[in-house]
């Protein structure tokens, strides 16, 4: 059998169905992440290699973990099927390790071909999973390493040359273009927003944190993302730097638990930047329990401004910390799903995931009515 053929096949042909059947019967781990099976009697979904063996008549197949979640299934705690989503292939892991070990290295097409990777394959993978081409990702990583060295006290010349820049002027220009500030100013400001990009069951997310809190969590395919990043830079008056941060690591762990249906409330601190009205709306959003929804009218009433329904909707639209500040829990008065920057399909999936988790964890208070199923 050929997992690559199944992954590239866009139709539910008899041949594809047969390949899924055989992989399921053989517990073929080479198909992990290529498709998933869900068990109707238990409400969970698994990877093909899962040790559990449900009866075939109780099983249905899905092409992605997102489809499983939308259909109302929970990830199996035994085989952890979400761990397969976006997991880098060995050649990607090796390539990233090579760059991280030696940030100044500049890999040419011939270098990639010598390691068995075509330049187009590398460009496409990094574009699809990070929003950057391979060349852009390498450049971003070099600048981030230089920024870290500058903050540690290295001279600008040393930081630039160690990062692989051949001239000080070239380094200064690239740094200022990427981060909106000169290297020297970045050193004296003593503050930056560390930014990371992660894959998730609902698509790649970009997250940002400074030393006090999370200040960004958004979808990289959101049309307003570029403007949002520029706004974030202006608000905090500091550079946005690719890298790691303890709060980002904590957030990633909590998001993993959330998507697995094991977390109803986040504990990582958030610091949204906005007007006093926007902050009031965002604060009230965080008071909506997981698994519940309210209307825009109700939200306006809750903040003491019942006539400000449109302003409330605009505040929702400008929220730059999705999921943690759950603007997806606000729906139309008639129950319709609309007005979500990440797309209605994501809103529907998040609500279904939370409703399933809330019911399982008994998170809905007694005497209340669960929200209606999203349309």
On the 0-12 / 13-18 / 19+ scale of CB atoms within 10 A, 8 is: exposed
Q: What is the pLDDT of residues 166-175, one digit of tens each?
A: 444 555 555 5
Query: Under CATH, which architecture does the 86-188 domain have?
Result: Orthogonal Bundle (1.10)
Answer yes or no: is pLDDT of 60 > 80.
Answer: yes
Which residues does 361 contact at the CB level (< 8 Å), separation at least 6? 264
Sheet of strand 44-46: strand arrangement: 59-62, 36-39, 44-46, 74-75
Q: Which of 50, 79, 140, 327 is catalytic?
A: 327
Query: Under CATH, which architecture does the 3-84 domain have?
Result: 3-Layer(aba) Sandwich (3.40)
The DSSP result for 52-106, as a single string, is ----GGGEEEESSHHHHHHTTPEEPTTT-GGGGTTPPPHHHHHHHHHHHH-TT--
Query: Under CATH, which architecture does the 274-360 domain have?
Result: Orthogonal Bundle (1.10)
Report how far residue 107's alpha carbon sits from residue 302's, in angstroms, rounded to the nearest whole number: 56
Phi/psi at 162 (5° precision)? -65, -30
Report how far residue 40's alpha carbon sits from residue 237's, in angstroms, rounded to the nearest whole number: 52
Boundaries of CATH 1.10.10.10 in the chain? Answer: 274-360
Pair 248, 196: CB distance under 8 Å: yes
**Spatial CA neighbour of 6 closest among 58, 23, 202:** 23
**Spatial CA neighbour of 85 closest among 219, 259, 201, 198:** 201
User: What's the pLDDT at 188?
Assistant: 47
Least confident interval from 41-55, 115-129, 203-217: 115-129
Q: Would residue 327 show up in a list of annotated catalytic residues for this protein? A: yes
Distance of CA 33 to the CA centre of its chain: 17
Cβ of 364: how many Cβ atoms within 10 Å? 17
Least confident interval from 31-45, 97-111, 292-306, 319-333: 97-111
Report how far residue 245's alpha carbon sits from residue 203's, in angstroms, rounded to the nearest whole number: 21
Q: And the tokens for 53?
A: 């063996």
Q: Would residue 46 show up in a list of annotated catalytic residues for this protein? A: yes
Q: And the tokens for 90?
A: 């060995």
Q: And the tokens for 310?
A: 């449109």
Which residue do the tokens 């594809």 mark? 16
Degrees, nearest 5: CA angle 206-102-210: 30
Q: What is the pLDDT of residues 265-315, one digit of tens each?
A: 999 999 988 899 999 999 999 999 999 999 999 999 999 999 999 999 999
The arithmetic mean of pLDDT across residues 60-72, rounded, is 77
User: What's the pLDDT at 267?
Assistant: 95
Q: What is the pLDDT of residues 317-332, one digit of tens each?
A: 889 999 999 999 999 8
Boundaries of CATH 1.10.10.60 in the chain? Answer: 86-188
Boundaries of CATH 3.40.10.10 in the chain? Answer: 3-84
Q: Which of 46, 50, 192, 322 is catalytic?
A: 46
Report how far residue 350's alpha carbon sits from residue 360's, in angstroms, rounded to the nearest whole number: 15
Answer yes or no: is pLDDT of 8 > 60.
Answer: no
Report how far residue 342's alpha carbon sits from residue 319's, in angstroms, rounded to the nearest whole number: 11
Q: What pTM does this model have?
A: 0.58
User: What's the pLDDT at 85?
Assistant: 46
């Amino acid at each position: 059998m050929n997992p690559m053929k199944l992954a590239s096949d866009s139709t539910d042909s008899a041949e594809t169905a047969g390949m899924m059947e055989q992989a399921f019967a053989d517990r073929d781990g080479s198909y992990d992440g290529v498709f998933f099976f869900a068990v109707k009697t238990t409400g969970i979904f698994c990877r093909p290699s899962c040790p559990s063996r449900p009866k075939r008549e109780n099983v249905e197949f899905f092409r992605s973990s997102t489809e499983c979640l939308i259909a109302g299934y929970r990830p199996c705690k035994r085989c952890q099927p979400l761990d397969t989503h976006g997991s880098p292939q060995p050649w990607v892991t090796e390539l990233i390790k090579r760059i991280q070990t030696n940030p100044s290295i500049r890999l040419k097409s011939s270098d990639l071909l010598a390691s068995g990777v075509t330049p187009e394959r590398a460009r496409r993978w990094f574009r699809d999973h990070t929003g950057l081409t391979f060349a852009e990702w390498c450049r971003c990583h070099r600048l981030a390493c230089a920024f870290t060295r500058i903050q540690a006290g290295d001279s600008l010349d040393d930081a630039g040359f160690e990062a692989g820049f051949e001239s000080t002027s070239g380094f200064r220009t690239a740094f200022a273009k990427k981060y909106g500030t000169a290297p020297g100013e970045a050193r004296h400001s003593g503050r930056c927003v560390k930014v990371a990009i992660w894959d998730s069951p609902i698509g790649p997310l970009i997250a940002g944190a400074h030393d006090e809190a999370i200040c960004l969590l958004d979808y990289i395919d959101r049309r307003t993302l570029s403007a949002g990043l520029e706004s974030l830079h202006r608000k905090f008056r500091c550079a946005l730097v690719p890298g790691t941060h303890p709060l980002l690591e904590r957030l990633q762990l909590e998001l993993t638990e959330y998507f697995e249906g094991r977390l109803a409330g986040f504990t990582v601190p958030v610091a949204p930047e906005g007007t006093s009205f926007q902050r009031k709306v965002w604060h009230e959003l965080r008071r909506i329990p997981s698994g519940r929804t309210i209307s825009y009218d109700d939200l306006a009433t809750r903040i003491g401004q019942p006539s400000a329904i449109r302003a409330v909707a605009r505040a929702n639209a400008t929220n730059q910390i999705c999921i943690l500040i759950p603007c997806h829990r606000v729906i139309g008065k008639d129950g319709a799903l609309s007005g979500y920057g990440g797309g209605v399909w994501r809103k529907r999936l998040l609500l279904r995931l939370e409703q399933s988790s809330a019911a399982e964890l008994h998170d809905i208070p007694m005497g209340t009515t669960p929200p209606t199923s999203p349309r």
